[in-house]
Structure formats: C-alpha cells, structure tokens
Amino acid sequence: MDLFFEYDIERLRRYAGVVENTGKITIESYPTHLLLSFTEVGYFNYCVCHEPAKIVDVVGQANAFYSSRSIHHHKLLLDEARSDENQYRFLLDNGYRLKERLMAVEDPMLQHRSQPIPENLQLERVQAATLPDFTSDYLAAFESEQKNTAPVITNFRQLLDNENIALFRVRDQAEPVGIAVLYGIESDFFLAGGAILPAFRNRGYHTTALVTRLNQANAQNARSVISWAYDGGASYRNMLKVGLVPYKCYRLYER
C-alpha cells in the first residue's frame, strides 16, 4: 500500500481517540480494497481498489459501507496501469464520475539537492503553542470551508507527539506563508500536506518547501521518498521541477 494511504490511516487512528469523534471514524482494510470514513471530514471518505478485476464486488461493498454511515458522497481510486475501459465504463454506469487523475511521484536521486534555499525561509516545527496558528494557516492554504478551527485543532493535537509525523509552518522571516508536513516510517518518507497561503503563491515557496523536506528525508538515509499531486496542477509541476518523477497514476472517481 502506498505510504500516503498509510499516512491517512495513521491520522484517522489518532483522531479516533478524541471523544468527540466517537463513532465517526471507520477503517476497513481488505486484500482487494481499503475503505476509510470520517463522517465530518469529506476528504477521508474514500475507497482504494487494490484489485481492479474485482471492481464489481468492491463497488458493491463501498456503496453499502458509505450508505450504512449516511455518507452520501465518496471517492474511489483506481490504479490506471492495472485497469481498463470496461472497468471505467462500469463505474460511469454506476453513478461515478471521473474527477481527477492523482499522480504519485518518487525521488529517483535519494540525495541532497543543492538548489539554493533563501536564508530567510525556514520550516518551523509546530509546537503546542503554535498549533492554533498552524491550523488557521492550514485551513486558509487549502481554502477550506471549515470556519470553526476548534475541532481541527483538537484533531491536529493528536499528531504532535507522533514520531512519524512532523508538522511545519513555512515562514519567510517572521511572516507565515504556508504549511508543510513530513511523514516517515523507518526509512520511507512521504512529503505530505504542503500548501501556500493564497497571498504568497507563485513566489517559489512551495518549491523551496519541497526541497527542504527532500533534503531532510535524504539526510536520514531515505530508502524512498514519495508524494502525490493532481495531474496538471501547480504542485505537480513543482514536484517535476525539483526532480521527482511519476511512478503511478490513480484515477479518482466521485459518487
């Protein structure tokens, strides 16, 4: 299973420990598919089909899973290299529509990058005292419709003592310009959650945050470093710019 799915599973397991989230989070993993749900956070309501040849059974189980939780919309991810037109047509015939192509990328170099990083730009590790500001920046950078930061802060607080997850504020001197996350298990790393505040986009901050995290991971003798972005988006272009290369494409359907 790709590390970015492991990251979501680990976050959900942490969030499930919050009293207010009781009964709202479910994780079910099978050889053929993965099912995640968080009734209050639409991002997590998705199914990954590991075996496209079993798409009929997977779709049936996914629909039953989300319907039983009164979740009216969910996503389904399908590995493009392992699927075909018959499976795409089946999804369309059963109410799914293709929304995006998600590009998984990896670092083929696994070594320090010498791109110059401005001295005034830094990734500041988030602490308990700065978590509220990080949360506000996170929601703003991802242009979230969530206005109540309190439950999000509570969820993020569960990640602060997790040795696998490092939350960062991207700062230009004293000015916060975005957020970034680095997730690692042993020697495998995932560049997660990088986003720049709207007022500071197109200034090279996203690219610099990518290079900084790549160098942090490779300084720890990384065995692999991966990330993902939507095909054609600015984040994907920046990933290619710093030398990451695509290794897999997921078709992302919505229903």
Strands 224-230 and 188-196 turn out to be parallel
Which pLDDT belongs to residue 108? 98
Residue 113 lies in a domain: no
Residue 20 lies in a domain: yes
State whether 153 and 236 are in the same domain.
yes
Residue 252 lies in a domain: no
Residue 108 lies in a domain: no
Residue 110 lies in a domain: no
Residue 187 lies in a domain: yes
State whether 96 and 132 are in the same domain.
no
Final residue in a domain of this structure, among 103, 131, 154: 103
State whether 86 and 129 are in the same domain.
no
Residue 162 lies in a domain: yes
Final residue in a domain of this structure, among 52, 75, 103: 103
State whether 96 and 160 are in the same domain.
no
**Dihedral (Cα; 230, 231, 235, 237), 10-degree rounding:** 170
What's the CATH number where 131 sits?
3.40.630.30
Final residue in a domain of this structure, among 70, 103, 136: 103
Phi, psi of 195 (to 5 degrees): -155, 145
State whether 66 and 129 are in the same domain.
no
d(C-alpha 51, C-alpha 39), whole Å: 26
State whether 86 and 190 are in the same domain.
no
State whether 64 and 29 are in the same domain.
yes
State whether 33 and 97 are in the same domain.
yes
State whether 62 and 32 are in the same domain.
yes
Domain count, the chain: 2
Question: What are the CA-CA distances from residue 211 to residues 109, 115, 142, 158 (Å)?
Answer: 12, 8, 20, 27
State whether 93 and 191 are in the same domain.
no
End-to-end CA distance of the chain: 23
* Region at 204 (left for phi over 0; alpha for psi -120 to 50; beta for the rest): left
Q: SS3 letters for the chain?
A: CCHHHHHHHHHHHHHCCCHHHCCCEEEEECCCEEEEEECCCHHHCEEEECCHHHHHHHHHHHHHHHHCCCCCCCEEEEEHHHCCHHHHHHHHHCCCEEEEEEEEEECCCCCCCCCCCCCCEEEEECCHHHHHHHHHHHHHHCCCCCCCCHHHHHHHHCCCCCCCEEEEEEEECCEEEEEEEEEEECCEEEEEEEEECHHHCCCCHHHHHHHHHHHHHHCCCCCEEEEEEECCCHHHHHHHHCCCEEEEEEEEEEC
Give the predicted TM-score (pTM) of the model. Answer: 0.95
State whether 148 and 91 are in the same domain.
no
d(C-alpha 180, C-alpha 177), whole Å: 10
State whether 240 and 152 are in the same domain.
yes
Residue 60 lies in a domain: yes
pLDDT in single tens digits along all 255 residues of the chain: 899 999 999 999 999 999 999 999 999 999 999 999 999 899 999 999 999 999 999 999 999 999 999 999 999 999 999 999 999 999 999 999 999 999 999 999 999 998 777 778 899 999 999 999 999 999 999 999 888 999 999 999 999 999 999 999 999 988 999 999 999 999 999 999 899 999 999 999 999 999 999 999 999 999 999 999 999 999 999 999 999 999 999 999 999
Q: How many residues does the chain have?
A: 255
Contact (CB, 8 A) for 104 and 4: yes
Q: Which structural domain range is residue 242 located in?
A: 121-247
